[in-house]
Amino acid sequence: MNSVHRGVKTGFHSLPLCSGFAKRLGMTSRPIIALSSLDETRALGVRVAARLQAGDVVFLTGGLGAGKTTLARAIIETLTGVSDAPSPTYTLVQTYETESGTPLWHADLYRIEDEGELEELGLEDAFEDAICLIEWPDRLGDWCPQTRLEIDLSMAGQDDTNQSDNGANKRQVRIAGRGDWETRLDDI
């Protein structure tokens, strides 16, 4: 089960749980994955979806337009059959039921301005028994779950070399795990 801790103490100092990416102590990460098309982004979503189970939390990080929602939609479609999942940008949370009956939550926390707003969403309970896809997880602050998969998407370059043959923007993906995800990363 996943638990939320209000801060983490290490032998060195106190670390904020949701800042930075895979630089925190105890994180295991994989080499950078290059994606050259939307189809490759969707294929990654299918691979991730195949490994998800109740209680899993997936952080999707990256700038605007990096592909977070595309990846989330591929995961949602794979697990629920819903092919036109709306972005939760304005609703903050969209909920689904997977084909196996597990709840799936897709949250976009971009509009969260204060951690106090998180309690109203019910995320802490969802972290226990649902599959949770969280965009803009840095807004979680102290609500950050200890066990999670982190997927960071970014544009591969800022010049014309970041275009693939079909004109799609190339992306780089970094995947890291905390908790039991450290041993599950090889399956993705």
Tokens of 165: 């043959």
CA gap 170, 60 in Å, rounded: 17
Residues 6+ apart with CB under 8 A from 171: 34, 35, 41, 66, 67, 153, 154, 155, 156
Of the spans 78-82, 142-146, 151-155, 182-186, which averages the highest pLDDT? 78-82
Query: Could you tell me the residue ranges of all domains in the chain?
Result: 36-187
CA gap 13, 183 in Å, rounded: 25
* Alpha-carbon dihedral sign for residues 170, 75, 33, 8: positive
Question: What would the pLDDT profile of 47-74 be if each residue is shown by its tens digit?
Answer: 999 999 999 999 999 988 888 999 999 9
CA gap 145, 130 in Å, rounded: 13
CATH 3.40.50.300 fits 36-187, yes or no: yes
Name the pTM for this structure. Answer: 0.81
